[in-house]
Amino acid sequence: MIPAVATLLDDGPIPLARAMAIAADHYYAAREPFGPAGDFVTAPEISQMFGELIGLWLADLWQRAGSPADAVLVELGPGRGTLMTDALRAVRRAAPGLAAVPLHLVERSPRLKGMQAQKLAGAVWHDSVETLPGDRPLLLVANEFLDALPLTQFERTEAGWALRRVSRDGWDLALAANPAFIPETMRGALPGSVHERNFAAEALVAGIARRLAVQGGAALFIDYGYAGPALGDTLQAIRNGAFADPLSTLGEADISAHVDFAAMARAAAPHVQLFGPEAQGMFLESIGIGARADALKAMASIETRAEVEAARSRLVSVGAMGRLFQALALVAPGWPAAAGFNRMAR
């Protein structure tokens, strides 16, 4: 546990969401989380196909919307810049006009900003979505961003629902949590049951949806998650590619939780068209990962062909990332339907 969190705990327990927020700022500023040498590997680091297909998805929607020249590209939490680098390479071929629009990146870590600048020269950086342009269509992508936002957990006790807090000795429970935060069907759950709400993620998605309703554009969120409401503790920490204890490694490991995509959809629903959530594997297959893999293998060595196929399988198969990860698209009213989704949520 980093000193910044430990010092706060000297004054008593703090909510999990506050501990996560402090720990995340330290972790992404001080540690290399991405890739084989880091703590975990994201889809863009597995294969160039992922970022390229996201770029083509954005280009297709932009073109069908009339190719608005005043649009801006946005990525939340760009990591090392891999996804957007691959996306722009595909966009330059498919829609050169979109490749020429301004690129805005939402990133708090000075260290990661420096890495992104080496790949994405000319980008504009923001510490939060609040300072993104407010008068232009947004074409936004966020891959594995929502899962790391500060989480709130509630635990059912014999006396009722309690807010979970972090203390020096582990979990601490503050009784009398607001029952409105617990779905009515779960309020009588057995003692020991845990219910999660990511208020920060819900607020962020709702804010982006309101922007899209006014400014135009679309947002694509991809993350590991489920359609709630549900009971269960999904909080996890990963360090050096292995699971670790979330509380004892605060600030020293990647800490995250599964995203409730039903809650995200509810937050956005009053403002935009909703598409999905759709399993990542189905989404990528629908937008052409098979054809892209075949193209990469066509002139490649036997070893490279095997690597491409292994990467495709990891991204789309049910036993890997294909079902665990979900995609959700928010599209401004009046804009065309999002490609790659079997259903429109409403």
pLDDT at 35: 62
Model confidence at 345: pLDDT above 60: no
Sign of CA dihedral 82, 86, 92, 96: negative
Retrieve residue 42's tokens.
Answer: 């994201």
pLDDT at 241: 80
Band (pLDDT 50/70/90 cuts) for residue 119 is very high
More confident residue, 26 or 1: 26
Q: How far is CA 27 from CA 60, 153, 253, 300, 331, in A?
A: 36, 21, 7, 38, 33
Span 195-219, mean pLDDT? 98
Residues for the chain: how many in total?
346
User: Is 233:269 a contact under the CB 8 Å cutoff?
Assistant: no
pLDDT digit string, tens, across residues 67-103: 999 999 999 999 999 999 999 999 999 999 999 999 9
Least confident residue range of 13-17, 120-124, 232-236: 13-17
User: Is 154:182 a contact under the CB 8 Å cutoff?
Assistant: yes
Return the amino acid letter for 183.
P
What pTM was computed for the model?
0.94
pLDDT at 2: 62
pLDDT at 342: 79
Span 209-230, mean pLDDT? 97
Span 292-310, mean pLDDT? 94
More confident residue, 291 or 346: 291
pLDDT at 189: 95
Phi then psi dihedrals of residue 114, to 5 deg = -65, -40
pLDDT at 253: 87
Reference 223, options 84, 324, 318, 151; nearest CA is 324
Band (pLDDT 50/70/90 cuts) for residue 141 is very high
The fraction of the chain above a pLDDT of 70, given in percent, is 95
pLDDT at 283: 98
pLDDT at 37: 62
Phi then psi dihedrals of residue 86, to 5 deg = -70, -40
Least confident residue range of 24-33, 40-49, 223-232, 286-295: 24-33
